[in-house]
Amino acid sequence: MTEFDIAIIGGGPAGATLARLLDEKFRVVLIDGKTDNENSFRKCCGGLLSPDAQKAFAEFDLTLPKDLLVDPQIFSVRTIDLQARKERHYQRFYMNLDRHKFDLWLESLVPENVERFYGRCKKIERLDNLYSLICTGNDGVEKSFTAKKIVGADGANSIVRKYLYPEKKIRRYTAIQQWFREENAKPFYSCIFDPATSDCCSWSISKDNVFIYGGAFEPKDCRMMFEIQKQRLSDYGFKFGEILKTEACVILRPKSPFDICTGKNNAFLIGEAAGLISPSSLEGISFAVNSARILAEVLNSDNSSADKVYEMKIVPMRIKIFAKVLKCPFMYVPALRKIVMKSGLNTIKITKRN
Residues 58-67: tens digit of each pLDDT: 999 999 999 9
CB 202 within 8 A of CB 216: yes
What's this model's pTM, rounded to 2 decimal places? 0.94
Can you list the domains of the chain with their CATH numbers? 2-48+100-169+255-327 (3.50.50.60), 66-97+171-253+330-343 (3.30.9.10)
What pLDDT, on a 0 to 100 scale, did the predictor assign at position 170? Answer: 94
What pLDDT, on a 0 to 100 scale, did the predictor assign at position 138? Answer: 92
Q: What is the spatial distance between Cα 218 and Cα 241, in angstroms, rounded to a whole number?
A: 26
Q: What is the mean pLDDT of residues 335-349?
A: 91
- Distances in whole angstroms, Cα of residue 184 to Cα of each of 23, 76, 241: 49, 17, 9
Band the pLDDT of 284: cuts 50, 70, 90. Answer: very high
Percent of the chain with pLDDT over 90: 87
Give the 3-state secondary structure of the chain.
CEEEEEEEECCCHHHHHHHHHCCCCCCEEEEECCCCCCCCCCCCCCCEECHHHHHHHHCCCCCCCHHHECCCCCCEEEEEECCCCEEEEEECCCEEECHHHHHHHHHHCCCCCCEEEEEEEEEEEEECCEEEEEEEECCCCEEEEEEEEEEECCCCCCHHHHHHCCCCCCCEEEEEEEEEECCCCCCCEEEEECCCCCCCEEEEEEECCEEEEEEEECCCCHHHHHHHHHHHHHHHCCCCCCEEEEEEEEEECCCCHHHCCCEECCEEECHHHHCCCCCCCCCCHHHHHHHHHHHHHHHHCCCCCHHHHHHHHCHHHHHHHHHHHHHHHHHHCHHHHHHHHHHCCCECCCCCCC
Q: What is the spatial distance between Cα 296 and Cα 20, in angstroms, rounded to a whole number?
A: 9
Residues 32-51: tens digit of each pLDDT: 998 887 777 788 888 999 99
Average pLDDT, the chain: 94
What pLDDT, on a 0 to 100 scale, did the predictor assign at position 325? Answer: 97
Band the pLDDT of 350: cuts 50, 70, 90. Answer: confident
Band the pLDDT of 335: cuts 50, 70, 90. Answer: very high
The string over 58-72, giving b where at least 16 C-beta atoms fall within 10 Å of a residue's C-beta and e elsewhere, is eeeeeeeeeebbbee
Band the pLDDT of 82: cuts 50, 70, 90. Answer: very high
What pLDDT, on a 0 to 100 scale, did the predictor assign at position 353? Answer: 63
Residues 248-263: tens digit of each pLDDT: 999 999 999 999 999 9
Residues 142-200: tens digit of each pLDDT: 999 999 999 999 999 999 999 989 888 899 999 999 999 999 999 999 999 999 999 99
Is the predicted pLDDT of residue 351 greater than 90, yes or no? no
Task: Tell me the sheet residues that pair with 230.
Answer: none
What pLDDT, on a 0 to 100 scale, did the predictor assign at position 289? Answer: 97
Q: What is the spatial distance between Cα 313 and Cα 298, in angstroms, rounded to a whole number?
A: 9
CB 80 within 8 A of CB 87: yes
CB 103 within 8 A of CB 86: no
Is the predicted pLDDT of residue 290 greater than 90, yes or no? yes
Residues 97-144: tens digit of each pLDDT: 999 999 999 999 999 999 999 999 999 999 888 999 999 999 999 999
Sign of the dihedral through C-alpha 139, 140, 143, 147: positive
Q: What is the spatial distance between Cα 26 and Cα 118, in angstroms, rounded to a whole number?
A: 20
Is the predicted pLDDT of residue 205 greater than 90, yes or no? yes
CB 243 within 8 A of CB 291: no
Give the 3-state secondary structure of 98-144.
CHHHHHHHHHHCCCCCCEEEEEEEEEEEEECCEEEEEEEECCCCEEE
What pLDDT, on a 0 to 100 scale, did the predictor assign at position 354? Answer: 53
CB 141 within 8 A of CB 174: no
Q: What is the spatial distance between Cα 275 and Cα 255, in angstroms, rounded to a whole number?
A: 10
Is the predicted pLDDT of residue 225 greater than 80, yes or no? yes
